[in-house]
Amino acid sequence: MEYRIEVENLNVYFDELHILKDVSLKIPKNAVTSLIGPSGCGKSTFIRTLNRMNDLISTFKMDGTVLLDGGDIYNPKVDVVDLRKKVGMVFQKPNPFPKSIFDNVAYGLRVHGINDKDILAQKVEESLKAAALWDEVENILEKSAMGLSGGQQQRLCIARTIAVEPEVILMDEPCSALDPISTTKIEDLIHKLKNDFTIIIVTHNMQQATRVSKHTAFFLHGEIVESGLTDKIFIEPEDKRTEDYITGRFG
């Protein structure tokens, strides 16, 4: 199996707080990997390590290696801006910019120097189609993104992320603020996207993990208890703690 991301012996600290403890995980290429576990177990911190979003927090310290396509992303020579272009992120709360729908999707392209109107229009259309939002917004592209529903906003954020053509998409509980119908749409979208992108999704929803992902890693107190094929983890987990969690005995 080909791996897109390989994390080895990752430790993350915020001040003296030891958040991730000796975490190792391999993320397969062009597939969906779910990260499950109770709140505060370090899942979000883990994916924010993969696009160096934790760099924004002044107390962040880490050791270990994080390889993207074999290259260490924490190497001092790495251009963080370039890395984040390759590793896109969709956040828990839909966070479109207070701009028009078109400008939201075009934002990433523009900051990377694409200003040609025709190219922008074409890429925006492609991205919105890929995010299954085009039919709903085709005629209101110039309207503010803030007027869309929560589910539409989240698909817009996905369109915005796809537009810059990343290799990896990190999703931090993308459906936790959405209703069941919007959630279904996002999950359908994830199925569509997995052929072209490597997707890592943090979720609190066990059913969602089984529905969307091929691989799953179970986090507990900053460690990975178990990881592997989703089917295996959910049907015959090796660790007692995994079994307790997925059967709803805690968490």
Partner 1 sequence: MSKWDEEYFIEKGLLLTAISSIIIIALIIIFIFREGIPALQSAGVFNFLFGMDWAPTDGKYGIFPMIIGSLGITALSLLMAVPLGVLCAIFLAEIAPANMRKILNPTIQTLSGIPSVVYGFFGLVLLVPFMRTQFGGTGFSMFTASVILTVMILPIIVSVSEDALRSIPQEYKEASLALGATHWQTIKNVIFPAAIPGIITSIILGMGRAIGETLAIIMVAGNVVQIPNSIFDPVRALTSNIAIEMGYATGVHYNALFATGIILVFMIIVLLVIANYFHYKKKVTIGGGYL
Among 37, 88, 151, 174, binds partner 1 (CB under 8 A): 88
Among 128, 164, 178, 200, binds partner 1 (CB under 8 A): 164
Among 21, 26, 61, 85, binds partner 1 (CB under 8 A): 85
Among 13, 14, 97, 134, binds partner 1 (CB under 8 A): 97
Shortest Cβ distance from residue 188 to partner 1 (Å)? 23
Count of residues near partner 1 by CB under 8 A: 32
Nearest to 22 by CA among 223, 200, 240, 246: 223
Output 168 or 224, the one with its CB closest to partner 1: 168
Question: Residue 108, interface with partner 1 (CB under 8 A)?
Answer: yes
- Residue 214: partners with Cβ closer than 8 Å, 6 or more residues away: 28, 31, 32, 33, 229, 230
Distance from C-alpha of 159 to C-alpha of 97, rounded to nearest angstrom: 13
Distance from C-alpha of 247 to C-alpha of 251, rounded to nearest angstrom: 10
Map tokens 């199925």 to a residue.
Answer: 191
Shortest Cβ distance from residue 58 to partner 1 (Å)? 8
- How many other CB atoms are found less than 10 A from the CB of residue 28? 15
Three-state secondary structure readout of 139-189: CCCCCEHHHCCHHHHHHHHHHHHHHCCCCEEEEECCCCCCCHHHHHHHHHH
Q: Which H or E run includes 129?
A: helix 117-130
Question: Residue 21, interface with partner 1 (CB under 8 A)?
Answer: no
Among 1, 16, 39, 98, binds partner 1 (CB under 8 A): 98
Question: Residue 43, interface with partner 1 (CB under 8 A)?
Answer: no
Binding footprint of partner 1 on the chain (CB under 8 A): 51, 53, 56, 58, 81-82, 84-85, 88-89, 91, 93, 95-100, 107-108, 110-112, 142-144, 146-147, 157, 160-161, 164
